[in-house]
Chains A and B, each alone.
Chain A
Amino acid sequence: MKTDILYKLFQGFSTLLLSDPLISFTRVGLILLGILLVYLGRKGVLETLLMIPMGLGMATINARIMFMPDGTQGNLFVDPLVTDVNQLLNILQIDFLQPIYTYMFSNGLIACFIFMGIGAMIDISYILVRPFSSMVLALFAELGTFATVPIAMAMGLTLNESASIAMVGGADGPMVLYTSLSLAKHLFVPITVVAYLYLGLTYGGYPYLIRLMVPKKYRGIKVEHTKPAKPVSPGMKLGAAVVLCVILCSLFPVASPLFFSLFIGVAIRESGLTHVLNFIEGPLLYGSTFFLGMMLGILCEAHLLLHPKILILLILGIIALLLSGIGGIIGGYVMFFIKRGNFNPAIGCAGVSCVPSTAKVVQKEVSKVNPNAIVLPEALGANIMGVITTAIIAGLYITLIPLLK
């Protein structure tokens, strides 16, 4: 009788003891992983803003599993699996994070908010000045997004699941979330968590890839421009953003929320609306990233995450990012030959659109060999174009993959 009271009183521990051993071990593992993420976020190894709420959310949700009134185990944070409308209305009044999940997460709104913030941060003059070289690099740097699909299918995933995990190769968190919500909703939590975990690691992994694939004599090449680029005014950038947004949205209506969000950010930046810009690149971007991290952590509950395909997803995520990095550097070599040696092949790695991490990584690696070589403008051009190509590929996948079944 006393044990029964203790079990009811300390339900976090009792559910741990009374569950299936696999679930219990996974819960303990996820609590430890959550604490590790907080530590790595604090140390700056992984992105602090994302990892601290994600890690704490992950640790908390697995610690606080309780017995629900119907005898099952659950939590009072969020229920992502609910489909019945009446049940959802009840849960919306009980689970305190359910409104954020339902109204911001599951419809991709949070991804669009982050895209608005990215749009407000980027300067599109880099892609306006050199559109073709930036585009070639960005397209080559999508190698992982495509090459991972057949690998994933060979490992037992369906075509929709394969395309969703392959999007990790685009190195764009919001895009992975958006695509997996459209193509493989049942796997969107593990896929997005894998994507965000690995995106934090690109900063640490890509320098080794650059050193491995680009010899020192090429890595230090300084790009010389014979014709100085004409200056691009904010009005020109605004005009370009409007035209590109309309064209891309008409080409890919399914990915139009992403294009619209990206270009509205650019439009606000270039139209001189400083107070709105401050809101978008400050509270909106940071707030959305915080809630995204927190929700991803909260969704990492052992029952939800203990999917037989999780190990495959972990392997495929790293394969996708690695192949994209390799593809980007191959693109760098292609540009090196097209421009007859007046191009640094390392810039290709910046085509992987992890704005602006990969561009910074490339500049850092180039500066180590030749401190006078400034490749950041070219790298940022490829980087920004990478965001656009990833959105194009998201549009292609969401439209074409269901037709290929």
Chain B
Amino acid sequence: MNVIYNIMLIYGMAFVIGLFVAGIIWLLYATMTADKFPRIIRRESYSEMKRLRQKSKSTTAGSI
């Protein structure tokens, strides 16, 4: 009975370690395949937003 308990414990440990390793692999894959220039894109969209805002301001001014 003690053997069965110990072996089940080791199997459980193997599950925990295995899922930990899978987590590391997932993290590696997610990091390596992530978009390389997310900040630049954000900055570009921000500058785009500023430009659009200015454009809309000038359009509104003209209409008045």
Contact = CB atoms under 8 A, between A and B. Distances in A.
Interface of A: 127-129, 131-132, 134-135, 138-139, 142, 146-147, 149-150, 153, 159, 230, 232, 236, 239-240, 243-244, 247-248, 251, 385, 388-389, 392-393, 396-397, 400, 404
Interface stretch (B9-17, B37-45, B46-54, B55-63): B9-17
Given A132-B26, A400-B10, A404-B6, 11 more contacts: A128-B29, A131-B21, A131-B29, A232-B29, A236-B29, A239-B28, A240-B25, A244-B24, A244-B25, A251-B17, A393-B10
B6 to A, nearest CB: 5
Given A135-B18, A153-B3, A244-B24, A146 B29 contact: no
Given A128-B28, A139-B15, A146 B21 contact: no
B25 A142 contact: no
Contacts of B32: 232, 236, 239-240
29 contacts: A127-B25, A128-B28, A128-B29, A129-B29, A131-B22, A131-B25, A131-B26, A132-B26, A135-B18, A139-B14, A146-B7, A146-B8, A146-B11, A147-B7, A149-B3, A150-B4, A153-B3, A159-B3, A230-B33, A232-B29, A236-B33, A240-B29, A240-B32, A243-B28, A244-B21, A251-B17, A388-B21, A389-B14, A397-B10
A389 B18 contact: yes
A149 B8 CA distance: 10
A149 B11 CA distance: 11
A371 to B, nearest CB: 31
B19 to A, nearest CB: 6
Contacts of B13: 396
A115 B3 CA distance: 31
A135 B29 CA distance: 15
SS of A interface (majority): helix
A153 to B, nearest CB: 6
Contacts of B15: 139
A131 B7 CA distance: 25
A127 to B, nearest CB: 6
Interface of B: 3-4, 6-8, 10-11, 13-15, 17-19, 21-26, 28-29, 32-33
A150 B33 contact: no
A392 B18 CA distance: 8
Given A132-B22, A388-B21, A396 B14 contact: yes
Contacts of A232: 29, 32-33
Nearest to B13: A396
A142 B29 contact: no
A127 B26 CA distance: 9
A146 B18 contact: no
A388 B47 CA distance: 48
Nearest to B5: A150
A150 B10 CA distance: 13
Contacts of A149: 3, 7
Given A146-B8, A232-B33, A135 B28 contact: no
A247 B25 CA distance: 11
Contacts of B22: 131-132, 134-135, 385
